[in-house]
Structure 1
Amino acid sequence: MTYENVVNTIDNKRRFGKACGRDVTMEFMEALGHPEMGKHIIHIAGTNGKGSVAAFVSSILQAASFSYAKPFKVGLFTSPHLIEYTERIQIDGKQISREDVTRIGEQLLEMKLELEPTMFDYWLAMALVYFKEQQVDYIVLETGLGGAKDSTNGLAQVPEVSAITSIGLEHTQYLGNTLAAIAGEKAGIIKPGVPVVIGQMEEEAFNVISAKCGALDCELIQAGAVDKSQKLGLFGEYQRNNAAVAVEVVKSLSLYVDNQTIANGLAKAVWPGRMQIISENPYILIDGAHNPSGVKALYDSLTAEFPKEKFSFIMAVMADKDYVEMADIIRPAVERIFTVTVDSDRALQASELARVLSESGMDSKACEDYSLALEEAKAYDNKIIVFGSLYFIGEILANER
């Protein structure tokens, strides 16, 4: 099989499986001889921020590795990708090669399993096989949607530390329709005696996680925000909260990392598509904010950086997102807003999104594609904000290459 054959075959697997993802992973790991065993795993869940926290943790650990006589390797597994699937699996900041994806992917696709894996299950299994082959020491593991039933929760190796970045209302059809219910699902990654680091969250969610930690005799560490004097590789006021979670995660490991190394790691962290400035003139900021809490973080960062300013926005969303609430949150910063249709069968049509935004009182216009929307926005404004879907942001970054 070619790389394209492997990727397309995996991509066409079910997005949501008939079987519990955790159970699929358990079967996969057993069949593969448990490639995850013996690794230092950092398990990260949360509604928003888990990718940024994973990037910060990975960057700090890479910085720390250089101070050891025998440097260690840091694996990173995240989702979704923005441009190419290889982004999901990295070692020391370097993506898995297409050749390794083809080789391992073909091996996995040939396996006969009782439970049907999803696309996510295959990439997770591929990551763990690859990390074992490359003798990775630390694995920074980002969950998919949930916690308790998530595919990443099916490993036999107990994590060294677990983190829950934030709790918000998202994927309610799968996780529950209250903060307490979603917190209970995310708290499913908590293991007996394993320290748990949490970000800032509502009391309703905090109480659920705190109770779970108490029941399982886990140390609960609540992160605050890193000082404004600390340089971060990721833009956005909310990233100070994510950075604080990452710092507490690293401090919970059985590994000594000094404060200067932590500072260096935070400053060098990279996480494309999240509050990323892709142009200074005109000023174009892209962000994969795709739910109300993510949009609130975007709004707060914009108002902190540019008090009382309004912007031209370009927005594209999936039809299953709460785009009405997202628009309501960003409204005070909107001068005008252009809509685009994401290249996905799950996308909300630009015309429908523009209609909804217009009915809510915003100056909105549907555009055929991002290029046309950008030209329209440039005619009005020198500061343009693009948001609404990680897949949309991925399309933009691919075209920027």
Structure 2
Amino acid sequence: MTYEQIVNTIDNKRRFGKACGRDVTTEFMEVLRHPEMGKHIIHIAGTNGKGSVAAFVSSILQAASFASENPFKVGLFTSPHLIDYTERIQINGKQISREDVTRIGGQLLDIKLELEPTMFDYWLAMALIYFKEQQVDYIVLETGLGGTKDSTNGLAQRPEVCCITSIGLEHTQYLGNTLGAIAGEKAGIIKKGVPVVIGQMDSEAETVIENRCQELGCNLIKATSVDKNQELGLFGEYQRKNAAVAVETVKCLQINIDNQTIADGLANAKWPGRMQIISRKPYILVDGAHNPSGVRALYDSLTAEFPNERFSFIMAVMADKDYVEMAQIISPVAESIFTVTVDSDRALQAKKLAEELSDLSINAKSCISYEQARDLSVETGLRTIVFGSLYFIGEVLKDY
């Protein structure tokens, strides 16, 4: 099979499986003879910020490896991808090759399991096989959905540190409809005696995690924000909070990393599609804010960076998102919102989104493509801010 055939076959697997993802991974790892064993795993969960924290942690560890007399390899597993599936699996910042995806993917598709794997399960298994083959030392592992039942929670190897970046209302049909319930699901990644780092969050969610840590005898570290003078590779005021989570996380590892190395790692971090400026003339910024918490962070960053300024927005979302609340959060600084339909069966149609925003007295117009929305937005003379589904952000970035 070709790379495209392998990817399409895996992509056509169920998005949400009949079986618990954790149990699928447990069976997969047994069949594969536990490729995850012996690795230093950093397990990261959270509603928002987990990708950015993973990027910061990976960058800091790479900086530490570069400065060490005994260099080591850092594996990174994240989702979703923006442009190519190979983004999901990286070692020292380099994506897995298409040849390796084809080879390992073919091997995995030939395996018959009692439980039915999802697309995510296959990519996780592929990552762990690849990391073992390449003799990776550290694995920065981002959860897919939740924590307790997530596929990444089915590994036999205990993590060296667990991290929960933030808690917000998302995927309520799977995780619960209160912050406390969702926090309980995310806290499912916590293991007995393993240190836990959390970002700033609502007291209801924080209390749930605190109680879980007490039950399991875990040291709990609450991150705040890094110094305002610290240079960050990721743009946006909210990234200072994510950076703080990453710093506290690496301090929990059994490795000595000095402050200058940490600073270098923070400054060199890269994470496409998050407060990323893709054009300065005209000014276009893209951000994968796809839920109310993410949009609130986007709003805070824009108002901090450009006080008293209004913007032209381009918005595209999935139909299952709370897009009305997202628009309401951003509306105080929105001169206009141009809507686009994401290339997905789950997408909310641009026309419907524009109609609902217009009902809220927001100046909204539906467009047949991103290109049309971009051209109309640029004509306003305002800074253009593109936000919404990460799949949409990936479509946009293909042209840059």
TM bucket, shorter chain: over 0.9
Q: Give the whole-Å Cα distance in 2 for the aligned partners of 1:338 and 1:5.
A: 35
Structure-1 residue corresponding to 2:150: 150
CA contact (8 A) 2:310 2:382 kept: no
Q: Deviations over 1:221-248 (max 9, x none)?
A: 0000001100000001000000000000
In the alignment, does 2:81 pair up with 1:111?
no
Shift of 1:382: 3.5
Report the alpha carbon displacement of residue 27 of structure 1 after superposing the two structures with TM.
Answer: 0.2
Partner residue of 2:71?
71
Is 1:371 paired with 2:371? yes
Return the alpha-carbon distance in structure 1 between the equivalents of residues 347 and 333 of structure 2.
24
Q: What corresponds to 1:254 in structure 2?
A: 254
- CA-based RMSD: 0.5
3-state SS of the aligned residue for 2:159?
coil
Tell me the matched-pair count.
400
Show the counterpart of 1:323.
323
In 1, Cα distance between the equivalents of 2:24 and 2:336?
Answer: 46
| Equivalence map 1:181-330=2 (5 Å) | 181-330=181-330
- Whether 1:348 and 2:336 are equivalent positions in the alignment is no
Cα deviation for residue 308 of structure 1 reads 1.2
SS of equivalent residue, structure 1 residue 271: coil
Equivalent-residue separation in structure 1 for 2:92 and 2:200 (angstroms): 28
In structure 2, give the amino acid aligned to 1:70.
N
| Corresponding position of 2:5 | 5
Q: Which amino acid aligns with 1:380?
A: T
Q: Distance in 1 between matches of 2:285 and 2:118?
A: 33
Residue 14 of structure 2 corresponds to 14
Runs of 4 or more, structure 1, over 2 Å off, are none
Report how far residue 282 of structure 1 moved. 1.2
> Residues of 2 paired with 1:100 and 1:197: CA distance?
34
CA distance in 2, matches of 1:113, 1:388: 36
Report SS of the residue matched to 2:162: strand
1:130 maps to 2:135: no
CA distance in 2, matches of 1:120, 1:333: 37
Deviation at 1:399, TM superposition (A): 2.0
Match in the other structure for 1:86: 86
**Identity percentage of aligned residues:** 78
Secondary structure of the residue aligned to 2:67 is coil
Letter in 2 for 1:6: I
Gaps of 5+ in 2: none
Q: Which amino acid aligns with 1:113?
A: L
- The 2-side partners of 1:237 and 1:125 are apart by 35
Q: Tell me the secondary structure at the aligned position of residue 365 of structure 2.
A: strand
Question: How far off is 1:76 after superposition?
Answer: 0.0
SS of residue matched to 1:168: coil
Letter in 2 for 1:192: K
| Conserved? CA contact 1:339–1:353, under 8 Å | yes
Q: State the Cα distance separating 1:381 from its structure 2 match.
A: 2.1
| CA deviation map 1:317-349 (0-9, x unaligned) | 000000000001001010011000001010000
Q: Aligned partner of 1:83: which letter?
A: I
Supply the distance in 2 between the matched residues of 1:168 and 1:125 (Cα, whole angstroms): 28
Cα offsets for 1:189-227 (capped at 9, x unmatched): 000000000000000000000000000000000000001
The offset of 1:125, in angstroms, is: 0.1
